[in-house]
């Protein structure tokens, strides 16, 4: 949806509304609107400096970067850093964790807002509806740091709420954050808690855009509510679902650094170390600039390929696509 | 199907739906209530797990300890500065980028749009960006917090869509006849007419600044410049608690309780600014997402 919004008007405009201006040559039009170029100069400079120069700088992945020699002065080493990464014992673990956490998040986190949106849409009591929406939306505003510390507090083996319940029933307290096997679930379900309400808003918007006469016709035909959801609501929001799914799958390797990094500790590292935290650790803390850039670059390229191919697939399947 | 059967199954469905939503409501609310209640309880109640729903043995000890901690207030002040400065830069940059892109007479806008959108698909990565910011001499200055993320392409797209749909061409043509050029048109017509979208984007940007810690983690080394989120991380997650805050507490057990109490209070204090404005701006946030979803 995001990229669709970006691209559609571009295609549409050329064909349509040039009639008024088409008598003038391009150069005349550019001259007439020279102020527009002045206006956009600063953003363009910003994008080039802070987004394209780092892309150019990513070539240090193929060099042995030395601070004293700069990017251009450092010697070429070809694919050496990539080979080191593919052969390292970390590689399998990082890919497994990155993909594992990501797929788990998609499987649980993707349908959750759709279900919530449909449920809210079905509730007819205005006040209740508003309350549910407002309350479920609120955790979105909690910062990552606070979110993770809430998790730590609630799960603390000594004084945490969850362990108070466990102790209340006479069981031994569990150190959730210290056990690798809990990490993925904690990450994913706390994410569901925090973001489902926010993500549901988009689907609610799509649901409110469904033609009400369809529902009226279904009532005349004697459809139950469940049938109406299955045959009207879900098909109605399908384009939105597909576009969001493409975007989600396209970012499968890009799981957020911030939350995972805060949730990591020495005990759960075996399941919590992912590519982004690894790049940060060896790159910025360990100062292996070239090697970690190579790891990051590998990640970006895989993501880019995924996004493009998922989009192509969706297009072929005849549904919506981003471009 | 029989009308009665339908009516009955619908009734059951409505019931189940209300029950489901009530459970969702409780699952979201309960942890929040628990944390607020704990922050207002006494150390002994927190450490012995007596708090379940409402505060037990109400006290303000946690909040008192926070008020004595100077770092927290420095962090608050820094975060406020970064938020106001950063959001101002964001809004100016977003309008400067979005307006020309919304004008169909603008030759070359497809190319510029492509230049922008490509950054959403691919980027140079953490290390090259860090090296750039470092080479520009921005690290460990306030500018590292506001310049590298001066503009979000996604919000430029939202603003552009808004301009395209709400500012009619006739308005611009009329302004041209009155001798108004593009820059004057932006300042005196576009900005006043776009107050709703500017409000929405300001809120999105501002919340982003207030809640972010990553930029500070990599670019800021000096404690004086730490935003609130970094200080929170040190206290809440890395357990770096200033011993001065625990002076009133003698036994080890009560110290543990005090630490927990402090953390609960800090969680409340840190989330307060955003949660207070939230109910007032909620409808704008919802609108903002809708504008973004408009084309989808």
pLDDT (mean) for B254-269: 85
Token look-up 């005990």 returns A267
The pLDDT, as a whole number, for residue A321 is 67
| Total tally of structural domains belonging to chain A | 2
CB contacts under 8 A, A 76-95 vs B, are none
Domain that holds residue A56: 24-78
How much of chain B, in percent, has pLDDT values that exceed 90? 46
Regarding whether A63 and A114 lie in a shared domain, the answer is: no
Residue A19 domain-assigned (yes or no): no
What is the domain-level CATH number for residue A132? Answer: 1.10.3720.10
Per the CB < 8 Å rule, is B28 touching A135?
Answer: yes
Regarding whether A179 and A35 lie in a shared domain, the answer is: no
Regarding whether A232 and A140 lie in a shared domain, the answer is: yes
Residue-averaged pLDDT of chain B: 87
Residue A13 domain-assigned (yes or no): no
Per the CB < 8 Å rule, is B293 touching A54?
Answer: no
pLDDT (mean) for B173-194: 89
Regarding whether A71 and A190 lie in a shared domain, the answer is: no
Tell me the shortest Cα–Cα distance from A51 to chain B, in angstroms.
7
CB contacts under 8 A, A 117-176 vs B, are 119-120, 122-124, 128, 131-132, 134-139, 141-146, 148-150, 152-154, 156, 158-159, 161, 164, 167
Any A CB within 8 A of B243 CB: no
Tell me the shortest Cα–Cα distance from A98 to chain B, in angstroms.
17
The CATH code belonging to domain B70-225 is 1.10.3720.10
Task: Encode pLDDT of B40-73 as tens digits.
Answer: 988 888 877 788 888 888 888 888 888 888 888 9
Rounded Cα gap, residues B118 and B122, in angstroms: 6
The pLDDT, as a whole number, for residue B292 is 57
Question: Does residue B7 carry a pLDDT above 90?
Answer: no
Per the CB < 8 Å rule, is A262 touching B237?
Answer: yes
Global ipTM: 0.88
The pLDDT, as a whole number, for residue A15 is 44
Mapping DSSP onto H, E and C, the string for chain A reads CHHHHHHHHHHHHHHHCCCCCCCCCHHHHHHHCHHHHHHHHHHHHHHHHHHHHHHHHHHHHHECCECCCHHHHCCECCCHHHHHHHHCHHHHHHHHHHHHHHHHHHHHHCHHHHHHHHHHHHCCCHHHHHHHHHHHHHHHHCCHHHHHHHHHHHHCCCCCHHHHHHHHCCCCCCCHHHCHHHHHHHHHHHHHHHHHHHHHHHHHHHHHCCCHHHHHHHHHCCCCHHHHHHHHHHHHHHHHHHHHHHHHHHCCCCCCHHHHHHHCCCCCHHHHCCHHHHHHHHHHHCCCHHHHHHHHHHHHHHHHHHHHHHHHHHHHCCCCCCC
Residue A290 domain-assigned (yes or no): yes
Interface test with chain B among A40, A203, A260, by most B beta carbons within 10 Å: A40
Regarding whether A296 and A175 lie in a shared domain, the answer is: yes
> Which range among A183-192, A305-314, B127-136, B286-295 shows the weakest confidence by mean pLDDT?
B286-295
Q: Where are the domains of chain B?
A: 3-67+242-293, 70-225
Token look-up 């995924």 returns A306
Closest residue on chain A to B123 (Cα) = A55
pTM: 0.87
Q: Give every CB contact of residue A68 below 8 A, 6+ residues apart in sequence.
A: none
Nearest by CB to A240, from B17, B207, B296: name it.
B296
Average pLDDT for runs of 10 along chain A of length 323: 42 45 72 89 97 94 88 89 92 92 93 96 92 90 92 88 88 90 95 93 88 90 90 91 84 81 92 92 90 92 86 76 67
Any B CB within 8 A of A202 CB: yes
Residue A64 domain-assigned (yes or no): yes
CB contacts under 8 A, A 18-47 vs B, are 21, 26, 29-30, 32-33, 35-40, 42-44, 46-47
Any A CB within 8 A of B128 CB: yes
DSSP states of B164-202 as a string? HHHS-HHHHHHHHHTT--HHHHIIIIIHHHTHHHHHHHH
Any B CB within 8 A of A197 CB: yes
Per the CB < 8 Å rule, is B125 touching A116?
Answer: no
Any B CB within 8 A of A249 CB: no
Task: Encode pLDDT of B232-246 as tens digits.
Answer: 999 888 877 766 666
Q: Which chain B residues touch A124 with a CB distance below 8 Å?
A: 14
Tell me the shortest Cα–Cα distance from B205 to chain A, in angstroms.
12
The pLDDT, as a whole number, for residue A18 is 46
Any A CB within 8 A of B296 CB: yes
pLDDT (mean) for B200-229: 92
**Residue B235: CB atoms within 10 Å:** 25
pLDDT (mean) for B187-211: 89
Task: Encode pLDDT of B152-176 as tens digits.
Answer: 998 998 899 889 888 888 888 888 8
The pLDDT, as a whole number, for residue A19 is 46
Closest residue on chain B to A19 (Cα) = B105
Residue A14 domain-assigned (yes or no): no
């Amino acid at each position: 949806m995001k990229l669709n919004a970006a691209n559609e008007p571009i295609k549409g405009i050329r064909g349509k509304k040039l009639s008024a201006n088409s008598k003038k040559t391009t150069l005349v039009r550019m001259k007439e609107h020279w102020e527009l170029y002045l206006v956009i100069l600063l953003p363009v400079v910003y994008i080039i400096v802070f987004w394209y120069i780092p892309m150019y700088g990513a070539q240090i992945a193929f060099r042995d970067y030395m601070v004293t020699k700069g990017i251009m002065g450092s010697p070429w080493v070809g694919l050496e850093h990539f080979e080191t990464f593919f052969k390292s014992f970390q590689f399998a673990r990082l890919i497994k964790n990155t993909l594992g956490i990501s797929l788990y998040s998609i499987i649980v986190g993707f349908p959750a807002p759709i279900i919530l949106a449909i449920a809210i849409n079905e509730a007819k009591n205005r006040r209740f509806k508003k309350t549910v929406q407002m309350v479920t939306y609120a955790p979105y505003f909690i910062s990552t740091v606070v979110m993770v510390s809430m998790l730590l507090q609630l799960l603390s083996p000594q004084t945490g709420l969850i362990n108070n319940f466990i102790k209340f029933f006479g069981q031994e307290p569990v150190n959730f954050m210290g056990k690798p096997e809990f990490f993925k679930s904690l990450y994913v379900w706390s994410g569901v808690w925090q973001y489902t309400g926010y993500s549901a808003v988009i689907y609610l918007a799509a649901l409110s855009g469904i033609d009400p006469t369809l529902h009226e016709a279904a009532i005349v035909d004697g459809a139950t509510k469940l049938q109406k959801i299955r045959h009207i609501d879900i098909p109605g929001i399908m384009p939105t679902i597909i576009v969001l799914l493409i975007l989600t799958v396209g970012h499968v390797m890009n799981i957020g650094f911030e939350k995972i990094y805060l949730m990591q500790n020495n005990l759960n590292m075996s399941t919590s170390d992912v590519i982004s935290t690894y790049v940060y650790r060896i790159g910025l803390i360990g100062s292996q600039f070239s090697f970690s850039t190579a790891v990051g670059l590998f990640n970006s390229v895989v993501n880019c390929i995924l996004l493009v191919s998922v989009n192509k697939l969706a297009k072929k399947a005849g549904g919506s696509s981003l471009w | 199907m029989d009308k009665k059967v339908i009516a009955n199954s619908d009734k059951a469905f409505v019931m189940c739906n209300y029950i489901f939503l009530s459970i969702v409501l409780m699952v979201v609310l309960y942890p929040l209530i628990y944390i607020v209640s704990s922050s207002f309880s006494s150390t002994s109640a927190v450490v012995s797990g007596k708090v379940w729903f409402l505060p037990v043995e109400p006290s303000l000890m946690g909040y008192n300890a926070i008020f004595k901690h100077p770092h927290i207030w420095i962090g608050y002040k820094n975060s406020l500065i970064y938020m106001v400065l950063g959001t101002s830069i964001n809004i100016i940059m977003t309008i400067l980028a979005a307006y020309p892109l919304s004008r169909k007479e603008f030759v070359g806008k497809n190319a510029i749009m492509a230049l922008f959108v490509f950054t959403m698909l691919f980027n140079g990565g953490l290390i090259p960006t860090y090296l750039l910011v470092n080479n520009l001499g921005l690290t460990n200055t306030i500018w590292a917090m506001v310049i590298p993320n001066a503009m979000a392409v996604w919000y430029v797209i939202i603003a552009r869509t808004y301009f395209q749909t709400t500012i009619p061409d006739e308005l611009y043509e009329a302004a041209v006849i009155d001798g108004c050029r593009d820059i004057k048109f932006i300042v005196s017509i576009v900005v006043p007419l776009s107050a709703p979208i500017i409000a929405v984007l300001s809120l999105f940007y501002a919340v982003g600044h207030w809640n972010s810690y990553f930029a500070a983690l990599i670019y800021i080394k000096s404690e004086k410049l730490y935003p609130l989120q970094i200080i929170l991380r040190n206290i809440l997650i890395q357990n770096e608690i200033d011993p001065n805050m625990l002076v009133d507490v003698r036994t080890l057990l009560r110290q543990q309780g005090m630490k927990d109490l402090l953390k609960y209070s800090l969680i409340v204090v840190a989330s307060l600014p955003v949660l207070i404005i939230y109910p007032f701006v909620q409808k704008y946030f919802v609108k903002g997402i809708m504008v973004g979803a408009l084309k989808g």
